[in-house]
Amino acid sequence: MSQREEMQLLIALKRALEKDMGIEVDMSRYGVRQRLLRLARASENPEVAALAARLEGDDARPPADPAPAEGRRIKGYYRGRPIYAD
């Protein structure tokens, strides 16, 4: 997702939250993405949930493993890095 698309989604989420919850969100403060996503989790509006899901969709993908180990089974991931079942 490009920065432009992300900002458009953030603004759409901000407007939907302001309409749904009757609050005002300051976009000039640091950490606006995290605050908007936290507010979206608290909202029960399906439109807000859909916008938040689209915005979080970029972060939800697991990172690609640059060099998978041959013959080793991956048990899980911790902070984006594979944990091998040895």
Domain ranges of the chain: 1-86
Q: Quick: pLDDT tens for 16-27.
A: 999 988 888 888
Q: What is the pLDDT of residue 66?
A: 55
Kindly tell me the sign of the dihedral angle through the C-alpha atoms of 21, 26, 30, 33.
positive
Are 42 and 24 contacting, i.e. CB atoms less than 8 angstroms apart? no
Are 12 and 51 contacting, i.e. CB atoms less than 8 angstroms apart? yes
Q: What is the pLDDT of residue 12?
A: 93
Q: Nearest 5°: phi and psi at 13?
A: -65, -40
Q: Quick: pLDDT tens for 47-78.
A: 999 999 998 885 545 555 555 556 778 888 88
Q: How far apart are CA 36 and CA 43, in angstroms?
A: 10
pLDDT at 1 over 70: yes
pLDDT band at 15 (very low <50, low <70, confident <90, very high): very high
Token output for 80: 């984006």
